[in-house]
Amino acid sequence: MTPSDRLPGGVAGSTVRRWVRFTPGQRIGRTLAYLISMIAIVWSVRTIEVIPEFLYDAPEQAVDLFRRMWPIDWSFWHKMVAEALVETFHTATLGTLIALVLAIPVALLAARNVTPSVGLNLLAKFILVASRSVNSLIWALLFVAVFGPGALAGTLAIAFRSIGFVGKLLAEALEETPVGPIEALTAAGAPRGSILLEGYWPQIEPSFWSVALFRWDINVRESAVLGLVGAGGIGVALDTGLNNLYWDQVGLCLLVIFVVVIATEIATSTIRSRII
């Protein structure tokens, strides 16, 4: 006991209780986290390969880029963009729907309370992580190799990328459902299908639709760039402009993508606040 532990003017022998905010383990963990991040940052700065010659004229290049984009080539709208835009919309929507259909069984397998089997849970979790870790652009590359260039590859890429996201959130929603209605249905002798449809489904329905809406919003953004690898949509128009170095067409595509993204964001947030 150090002298400072003694209460000033207190009963002899009584000590101040020392409150410590973190346990030693937490403190060590935090310090380690900070230390490792610092080391990683310093190491990355020192070893990353940057070609300095390219940097000298970067501001000029950037100014040049925007000057070439202006004025925007509006005639490109009728030539390519309008049709590609509709395709992008359908790619995102259809991809989301397919993902929802495919994600439901995986989510059921991943939820521990619905499928009480560790092996199947792990398998489903692996499927979900694999789907999420491969980027939609990379999924698109794979599907272009299989189905050839076009919106079919894009739709499947969107769908396969979304399974992981939708499935993970659905599995979490399933695991959080209260057991009351499920037990009641089981006690009434309901078959497995009825338990799923009338026990679990009404409880996860709100989160299901909000996940669907959220993913659709993300998918509109993602399907706008899939065309860069030939998977259809407005990205194809963007890629054409880039390859021909028609920056005024690129400018139009970027403007259109910007407007569409803002519009979907407004639409989804309106729907969410009205309905869900």
Partner 1 sequence: MSAVKRQAFAPNWIARGLWLALFVYVVYALGILDVSWDRFVRGLDNGARFLGRMFPPDFGAKKLDLLWEGMVESFQIAVLSTAAGVILSLPLGLLAARNLMPAWVAWSARGIIALCRSFHPVITAILFVKAVGFGALAGVLALILASMGFISKLFAEAIEEMSLKQVEAVRATGAGFFNVLIMGVLPQVNARAIGFCAYQLDSNLRNSTMVGIVGGGGIGAALFTAYQRFDYDFVLTILLAIIAVIMVSEVVSGQLRKAFQ
Nearer to partner 1, 7 or 35 (CB): 35
- Nearest to residue 233, comparing CAs of 107, 94, 108? 94
Report the nearest approach of partner 1 to the CB of residue 260 (Å). Answer: 9
Report the nearest approach of partner 1 to the CB of residue 27 (Å). Answer: 10
Q: Which helix (H) or strand (E) holds 100?
A: helix 82-110
Nearer to partner 1, 1 or 48 (CB): 48
d(CA 88, CA 233): 4
Nearer to partner 1, 16 or 65 (CB): 65
Nearer to partner 1, 114 or 154 (CB): 154
Report the nearest approach of partner 1 to the CB of residue 197 (Å). Answer: 9
Report the nearest approach of partner 1 to the CB of residue 20 (Å). Answer: 16
Dihedral over alpha carbons 30, 36, 39, 40 (to 10 degrees)? -130
Cβ neighbours for 264, distance < 8 A, ≥ 6 positions apart? 216, 217, 220, 221
Nearer to partner 1, 16 or 266 (CB): 266
Report the nearest approach of partner 1 to the CB of residue 58 (Å). Answer: 5
Contact 177, 200 (CB under 8 A): yes
d(CA 109, CA 182): 17
**Where do contacts with partner 1 occur on this chain (CB under 8 A)?**
26, 29-30, 33, 37, 40-41, 43-45, 47-51, 54-55, 58, 61-62, 65, 86-87, 90-91, 93-94, 97, 129-130, 132-135, 137-138, 141-142, 145-148, 150-152, 155, 198, 221-222, 224-225, 228-229, 232, 238, 242, 254, 257-258, 261-262, 265
Around Cβ 264, how many Cβ atoms within 10 Å? 19
Nearer to partner 1, 10 or 148 (CB): 148
What DSSP assignment string belongs to 20-61? -SS-HHHHHHHHHHHHHHHHHHHHHHHHS---HHHHHTHHHH
Our separate counts of H helices and E strands in the chain read 13, 0
d(CA 188, CA 94): 38
Cβ neighbours for 144, distance < 8 A, ≥ 6 positions apart? 153, 229, 230, 231
Report the nearest approach of partner 1 to the CB of residue 165 (Å). Answer: 12
DSSP state of 5: G
Nearer to partner 1, 82 or 97 (CB): 97
Report the nearest approach of partner 1 to the CB of residue 91 (Å). Answer: 7
